[in-house]
Amino acid sequence: MKKIFIILFIFLFSSISFAADIKVEMLNKSADGKIMVYSEDISRIDVGDTITWVPTTKGHNVEFLAGPDGWEIPKKSKMNAEYSYTFKIPGIYFYQCTPHKVMGMIALVVVGDDTSNKEAISKVKVFAKGKKKLPELLNQLK
Ligand SMILES: [Cu+2]
């Protein structure tokens, strides 16, 4: 009997280190009244975690603009479709919604608590409302 509990304990404990799947919604309007936003401005995840972006309404996608050195930017996601991406390199990733970039529909992913590429991210070209929002987001990172 004791053995079973030990095995169960090991199983439960080890499952904590399993890669997580995080959901981010693409929203026309957030609960606090912001228009054209992702449900998370900054997603903080571990290396190996996956983010799935879920459309709640039509008209959104995910287009990566920058990430850590040596990372190959994936093709932008299809409009109105769920999209998943697994992050394997630590650092800051910056993405936008292609049609709503001028409305500040941008967000960051911080992988493995690594913010060493903050300076490079701050130099990415952003549009209209994003020009104010990107520095605000980067200021929230240590
Ligand atoms: Cu959008």
**Residue 111 Cα to ligand 1 middle (Å):** 23
> Is 1 among the domain residues?
no
Q: How far is the CA of 58 from the centre of ligand 1 (A)?
A: 8
Between the CA of 15 and the centroid of ligand 1 the distance, in Å, is 35
Per-residue pLDDT, 18: 81
Partners of residue 109 on adjacent β-strands: 43, 93
How many domains does the chain divide into? Answer: 1
The answer as to whether 134 is a domain residue is yes
Q: Position of tokens 């070209």?
A: 125
88 contacts: CB under 8 Å, gap ≥ 6: 47, 48
Tell me, what CATH number does 110's domain have? 2.60.40.420
pLDDT at 117 over 80: yes
Report the C-alpha gap between 3 and 24 in whole angstroms: 40
Percent of the chain with pLDDT strictly greater than 90:
86
Residue 85 tokens, joined: 């991406």
Distance 2 CA to ligand 1 centre (A): 54
Domain assignment of residue 59, given as a range:
19-139
- The verdict on residue 44 lying in a domain is yes
Euclidean distance between the first and the last CA atom of the chain, given in angstroms as a whole number: 48
pLDDT of 142 reads 75
Please say if the pLDDT value at position 116 is more than 90: yes
* pLDDT value for 5: 64
